Amino acid sequence: MKSSDNLKKALELYGISDRKTLDLTEFIDQTEQALKGGLTCFQLREKKLPNFELVMLASLLKPLCDSYNCPLIINDNIAAAIMCDAGGVHIGQEDGDIKQIRSQLGDDKILGVSAQTVEQAKAAEAAGADYLGVGAVFATTTKEDAANVSLDELQAICDNVSIPVVAIGGITKDNLSMLAGSGIDGIAVSSAIFLAADPQIAAEELKNKIKEVII
């Protein structure tokens, strides 16, 4: 998965969990529907779960994601990712030293880092990030503290790094075309899939649309 071409392919349609009030069975079923629809990467973002519950949930999702050849990424929690043998970890700018986290994970795991500026993006790449999550490119209600990133800044980041860039924040099938020409390698979405009436159809529609945006 860590080869450049394989990683780019895996980042095309990147889903981020939005569990809300779903029980465990509903959540896993929803995730599988999204996978059936073409999700290529899945991030488990459960900041409020105790560590042992996060590991339990990730351990249930790991074989499901594996069956669809979809990497399971854990948000922030490096220990949980290692314990459940997840595909990797995604961290923010304030979540620790990137070089140290890379050392903990090893070279075979995926390390994603959030970036909002060219300077942050170049520093993350130099420190060992495998891909960048850049946003919020549009207004979002999923992550209320997300900083806005202009489309010009997004393009500048893509132009200044050699690792894949994934746009995130408020992306829907209706505004996705606005990202054409930016140089992104994929999109990360939460509400657009996991709050949809039918996650499978929502994923299918986004997967088809992204082909018009990624060159």
pLDDT in tens, the chain (215 residues): 567 789 999 999 999 998 877 899 999 999 999 999 999 999 999 988 999 999 999 999 999 999 999 999 999 999 999 999 999 999 999 999 999 999 999 999 999 999 999 999 999 999 999 999 999 999 876 666 567 999 999 999 999 999 999 999 999 999 999 999 999 999 999 999 999 999 999 999 999 999 889 87
User: Which residue in 8, 102, 109, 114 is the catalytic one?
Assistant: 114
d(CA 139, CA 144) in angstroms, rounded, equals 9
* Annotated active-site residue in 143, 173, 207, 209: 143
Catalytic residue chosen out of the listed positions 8, 17, 19, 45 = 45
Residue 215 lies in a domain: no
184 located within any domain: yes
C-alpha–C-alpha distance, residues 207 and 187, integer Å: 10
What is the number of domains present in the chain?
1
102 included as an active-site residue:
no
In the annotation, is 19 catalytic?
no
164 in a structural domain: yes
Kindly state the tokens that stand for 91: 């961290």
CATH of the domain at 150: 3.20.20.70
Is residue 133 within 8 Å of residue 112, measured between CB atoms? Answer: yes
Contacts 24+ apart (CB under 8 A), 97-103: 97/127, 98/123, 98/124, 98/127, 98/128, 98/129, 99/127, 99/128, 102/127, 102/128, 102/129
pLDDT computed for residue 2 by the predictor: 62
pLDDT of residue 149: 95
Q: Could you tell me if residue 22 is inside a domain?
A: yes
Tell me, what's the pLDDT at 19? 85
- The confidence score (pLDDT) of residue 21 equals 78
Q: Is 177 a catalytic residue?
A: no
* Domain extent at residue 127: 4-210
Beta bridge partners of residue 114, listed in sequence order: 133
Pairing verdict, β 165-168 and 13-16: unpaired
Half-sphere exposure of residue 16: CA atoms within 13 angstroms, side-chain side: 23
CA distances from 26 to 23, 32, 81, 205 (A): 5, 10, 22, 22
